[in-house]
């Protein structure tokens, strides 16, 4: 079990994944880690729309989604919402994905049944985004 308490204030997080059951799992798993899930999105367009009205501290971003995928959403999010942390969350990551996320300076996590590494990455990404845009 994660040490949710070691982080500061509760984090406001948006979950973006086209799989409803993955969203359900994240919603349930992240609540133990000082994280408040403030919204869910099924593709990149919904993420951008959500952020335009209620900016989260961080986003869990699946990379493979219909409509607008994560790769397409990241540049726009970084430009329009630089103080929002982004964590790329994907089932598998080949060389291309790893290179792209490194190039875009986006932390990359493999999907897992354990939400602790994701929670830690979200807190770190939010903190880094806040610091770099301050």
Partner 1 sequence: MVTPMTAEGEGEVTAALAALNVARGRFIAVVGHELRTPVTTLRGLAEQLEGADAETVRDLTPALVRNARRVESLLDDLLLATDITTVLPVGEPERIDLVSTAQAIWDAFEEDAELVLSGTPEADVDMRPGAADTMLERVLDNARRYGRAPFRLHADQAGDRVRLVIASEGPELVPDDVHLAFELFYRGEAAVTSAPGFGLGLPVARALARQDGGELTIEPREGGGLDVCIDLPAAT
Minimum CB separation from partner 1 for residue 94, in Å? 7
Compare residues 57 and 62 and give the one whose CB is closer to partner 1.
62
Minimum CB separation from partner 1 for residue 128, in Å? 26
Minimum CB separation from partner 1 for residue 125, in Å? 20
Is the CB of residue 85 less than 8 Å from the CB of residue 122?
yes
Q: Which residues of 74-112 are buried (b: 16+ CB within 10 A; e: fewer)?
A: beebeeebeebbbbbbbeebeeebeebbeeeebbbbebe
Compare residues 50 and 71 and give the one whose CB is closer to partner 1.
71
Binding site for partner 1 (CB under 8 A): 18-22, 24-25, 28-29, 64-67, 69, 71, 91-92, 94, 110-115
């Amino acid at each position: 079990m994660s040490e949710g308490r070691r982080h500061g204030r509760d984090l406001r997080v948006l979950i973006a994944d086209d799989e409803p059951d993955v969203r359900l799992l994240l919603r349930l798993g992240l609540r133990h880690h000082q994280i408040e899930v403030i919204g869910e999105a099924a593709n990149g367009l919904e993420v951008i729309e959500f952020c335009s009205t209620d900016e989260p501290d961080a986003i869990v971003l699946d990379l493979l989604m219909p409509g607008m995928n994560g790769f397409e959403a990241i540049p726009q999010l970084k430009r329009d919402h630089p103080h929002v942390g982004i964590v790329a969350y994907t089932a598998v990551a080949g060389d291309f994905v790893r290179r792209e996320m490194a190039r875009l300076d986006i932390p990359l996590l493999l999907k897992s049944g354990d939400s602790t590494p994701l929670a830690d990455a979200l807190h770190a990404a939010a903190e880094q985004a806040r610091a770099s845009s301050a």
